[in-house]
Structure 1
Amino acid sequence: MRLGRKEGGRLKVFNADKAGAAGVMLATLVGVAAMSQVFRTIAAIVAPGLQREFGLSTEELGIYAGAFHLSFALAQIPMGLALDLYGVRKTVGSAFLLAVTGALLSFIATGFPVLMLGQLLIGIGCAPAFVGSLFFVSKHFSEKSFARVSGLVLSFSGLGLLATGTPLAWVVEHWGWRSAFVVTGVVAAANLVCILVLVRDDHGKNSGGIAGAIRETLAILKERQTKGIVALALVAYPSYIALRGLWATPLFMERHGFTLTGVGNVLLASSVATLVGPPLFGLVRAKGRSRRYLICASIATSAGIFLILAISANWIVDATMCVALGALTGFTILQFADTKSAYDPQVVGRAFGILNTAAFLGVAILQGATGWVASTASTFSVNQFAAVFAFIAAACLLAMVAFFMLPWPEWEVGSKTDV
């Protein structure tokens, strides 16, 4: 069906059927992104069971939780390149098969090495999930609606975080940690079928081939604004995932005596907040310098919240701070909008891939580093939670300073339209 409306004295025609098809395909991609959210935070729910069955240390748990994010991060640039070359369906579908395989390996694991292999495969398989959705939005939706639609994508993909709150905690408490991978593996397989059946796209062509695409990727890494974008991405989202995916469970169980289901309730509330934040940030019309100032203010606020967690002794305060950090993750949308405006449209897949590489490499680094901080703090009889959260707060502030002080994109120089 074709509809029309007046725009600038002319009749603008658009195809409602095509728009509806794009909506269905985007919803399917968002389902995969939601499963990526499940997989990246599942460690917090299965950690107690893994410690009981395999006797894992705190450092080993940190390494296990970080394995997903390490492989996820290292796969981002290749996946971004694949999106530019081959499009969404082939890239996301092929990769997500690895995630299903990784869930199966995790279910049958008899030791730490197999668990690690499962996490690594899941990380690679989920690598193009969210960035593939944003790539699809950048090709099928207008420039003006990018931040708004991307905010909705991030919000609905955040439904996956709800699953690793109370529902999955209840499943694990009743049927053990392996049941978590049975449930997630089955849902992931269903998502894979939907991608292969429903998604069709004709984007992702590059006349220069793989060699040309690699040269363009290297050129992106050399551009003036990349250092600041990467510096912030290494800490901004990873700071929340370090809490949500690793430290929230021991925080409430050891500091406040919560049960696993009780922790799940806090995580559920925090996850709901992650659904609210992105659409709100997506409505922000700031761009250029104004958008960057807002990004800096958001990461500074995150640092302040982590300092409160470091010194708090009240479970209500701690729970409130977890919810507040969940809402603040919405400023990730501003980072993607900032990145999109900083690079040429034909390399947007790789630009998003670089941003996500930094973000999830940061998750792996930060989770591993906080495990080391906790162990070191215990050695010197320092409260591990105070040390961990103070360390994260310091990392947030350093990232903000780097983002602000390093070179900005060319649009910042003498451009009144980007204020």
Structure 2
Amino acid sequence: MNPHISKQNNSSNVKLILTIFVPLACGYFLSFFYRSINAMIAPSLVNAFGLSPSELGLMTAVYFLGFGLFQLPLGILLDRFGPAKVQSSLLAVAAIGAALFSVSERFDLLIAGRGLIGIGVAGALMSSFTAFALWFPRNILPLANGCFMGIGGVGALAATKPVEWMLTITDWRGLFLLLSITTATVALFIRASLPDTRSTSTPINLRAQILDLKEIYSNKFFWRIAPLTVSTVATGFAIQGLWAAAWLRDVANLKPEGVANHLLFMAFGIIFGPIATGIIAEAARRRNISLLGLYGTIATVFIVLQVLIIFAWTQISFFLWTGFGFFINAMSLSYAILTQAFPKNLAGRLNTNLNMMMISAAFVAQYLVGWIIEFWPFSLAEGYHPQAYRFGFGLLLSIQFFSLVWFALQPIIFFKKNLEKEH
């Protein structure tokens, strides 16, 4: 290759990284940080507002509600206005939400602020993938997407020990005010850096979208994968974002520093889980090993880890919670499996709808655990009884278990039905 051309290509890639990847990565970092931060500030919120577990769960879960509901108009907005305008505008909404959260004196205002934050970061992933598809060379897209996904884990990591340190300097209100300013700055950074370009894809009319959704939701293979993916990922998001820290305080009897250390290692698991899964999946593909088998194995291990957590194996809690974080994002293997089973033109809507199902389920799961925990008495010295977490986590586990059984048995069920039809 001509050295001059190679130098030009390298210079172009550096420019793309600085003007597109870095600004959008800052937004994605914030989305994970916001999702995870309540796990660290929950005791302060409970003390300030006298929140019950169900109120704490609802307030934290509203993030998922706002995030999930906004997936519906997001694709249309990206097609019409482009990722620069959409993502910068949404982050401005998140900045307003963080500011409202920081000054809230009532529970309903906390919910409103948290909901605005969820809406504001709802486009962090899809806006970025749209931008990468528009401006990045196709040959570096897999690397760009993989590195970008890792940034989310860094955001979750930053919401652990660094937040504990920040809370020694300021309180949760000061922290959210700082977050509001930071988010507004990132919004301006994105608006100033990204080219103002719309998607080159042709907008799809409403009738075509409905027909596409019908094709997705009537597909038997989709309904083999979706229940297990939705139940496991929703459980992971709900527990990692709030209830893991509460379990570590009330069941493992850890001090704030110990809780932060566990959450830190769980965040490391979130970072490296998808990377390791991608490497293993590629090795499996080369050896003609079924990705479905790998997916089922990952789900099984994730469920086993939860069984050990439910029965309070606190002696190995570091291992359990690091593994928990590792296998949350490892379940993203389902995206690759499903997109291979559908036409390419459905890939975007397929992933968006699966994502909406997972986020909506995470909202329900996070609130539901708090509602169940509230049935047990609270002690200032010891928190909530371990039995409360056993029942709350156990309900989510039972849904995952039946989803795993459905995943494993569905081929046998449909094989028998086909035999009956033939005879």
TM-score band, normalised by shorter chain:
0.7 to 0.9
Between the two proteins, the alignment pairs up a number of residues equal to 399
2:37–2:160 CA contact under 8 A, matched in 1:
no
1:413 alignment counterpart: none
Equivalent position amino acid for 1:299 in 2? A
Are residues 291 and 165 of structure 1, via their aligned partners in 2, closer, same or farther at CA, if it must alter by over 3 Å? same
Residue deviations 1:182-237 (CA, integer Å, cap 9, x gap): 23222212211221111226452454455466446634543514434542342222
Q: Secondary structure at the match of 1:158?
A: helix
1:277 corresponds to 2:277: no
2:52–2:374 CA contact under 8 A, matched in 1:
no
Measure how far apart 1:16 and its partner are.
Answer: 4.3
1:358 alignment counterpart: 357
1:163 alignment counterpart: 158
1:389 alignment counterpart: 393
1:301 alignment counterpart: 301
1:22 alignment counterpart: 16
1:78 alignment counterpart: 73
Are residues 234 and 330 of structure 1, via their aligned partners in 2, closer, same or farther at CA, if it must alter by over 3 Å? closer
1:129 alignment counterpart: 124
1:249 corresponds to 2:245: yes
Distance in 1 of aligned mates of 2:237 and 2:2: 44
1:299–1:397 CA contact under 8 A, matched in 2:
no
Residue deviations 1:374-397 (CA, integer Å, cap 9, x gap): 234669x87112222322322222
Residue deviations 1:159-192 (CA, integer Å, cap 9, x gap): 1111210111222354222122123222212211
Measure how far apart 1:268 and its partner are.
Answer: 1.0
Equivalent position amino acid for 2:397 in 1? A
Equivalent position amino acid for 1:23 in 2? I
Out of 261, 265, 271, the position equivalent to 1:265 is: 261
Measure how far apart 1:263 and its partner are.
Answer: 1.0
1:412 alignment counterpart: none
Are residues 383 and 218 of structure 1, via their aligned partners in 2, closer, same or farther at CA, if it must alter by over 3 Å? same
1:310–1:388 CA contact under 8 A, matched in 2:
no
Q: Secondary structure at the match of 1:204?
A: coil
2:376–2:388 CA contact under 8 A, matched in 1:
yes
Measure how far apart 1:78 and its partner are.
Answer: 1.6
TM-score, normalised by the number of residues in structure 1: 0.84
Give structure 2 stretches of 5+ with no counterpart.
379-384, 412-423
Equivalent position amino acid for 2:248 in 1? F
Distance in 1 of aligned mates of 2:4 and 2:213: 43
Out of 93, 98, 105, the position equivalent to 2:93 is: 98
2:417 alignment counterpart: none
Residue deviations 1:225-260 (CA, integer Å, cap 9, x gap): 443454234222222222221112221222233222
1:417 alignment counterpart: none
1:37 alignment counterpart: 32
Are residues 2 and 29 of structure 1, via their aligned partners in 2, closer, same or farther at CA, if it must alter by over 3 Å? farther
2:251–2:386 CA contact under 8 A, matched in 1:
no
Distance in 2 of aligned mates of 1:141 and 1:245: 32
Distance in 1 of aligned mates of 2:140 and 2:296: 23
Measure how far apart 1:295 and its partner are.
Answer: 1.8
2:374 alignment counterpart: 375
1:85–1:205 CA contact under 8 A, matched in 2:
no
Residue deviations 1:306-333 (CA, integer Å, cap 9, x gap): 100011242x412221111111233244
Measure how far apart 1:142 and its partner are.
Answer: 7.3
Are residues 228 and 134 of structure 1, via their aligned partners in 2, closer, same or farther at CA, if it must alter by over 3 Å? farther
1:310 corresponds to 2:283: no
2:84–2:194 CA contact under 8 A, matched in 1:
yes
Measure how far apart 1:367 and its partner are.
Answer: 0.8
Q: CA RMSD in A?
A: 3.1
278-287 vs 296-305, greater mean Cα deviation: 278-287
2:277–2:333 CA contact under 8 A, matched in 1:
yes
Equivalent position amino acid for 1:276 in 2? F
Measure how far apart 1:17 and its partner are.
Answer: 4.5
1:232–1:399 CA contact under 8 A, matched in 2:
yes
2:54–2:368 CA contact under 8 A, matched in 1:
no
1:279–1:330 CA contact under 8 A, matched in 2:
no
Distance in 2 of aligned mates of 1:27 and 1:396: 36
2:382 alignment counterpart: none
361-370 vs 279-288, greater mean Cα deviation: 279-288
2:177 alignment counterpart: 182
Distance in 1 of aligned mates of 2:198 and 2:269: 34
Distance in 2 of aligned mates of 1:281 and 1:177: 36
Identity of aligned residues (%): 23
TM-score, normalised by the number of residues in structure 2: 0.83
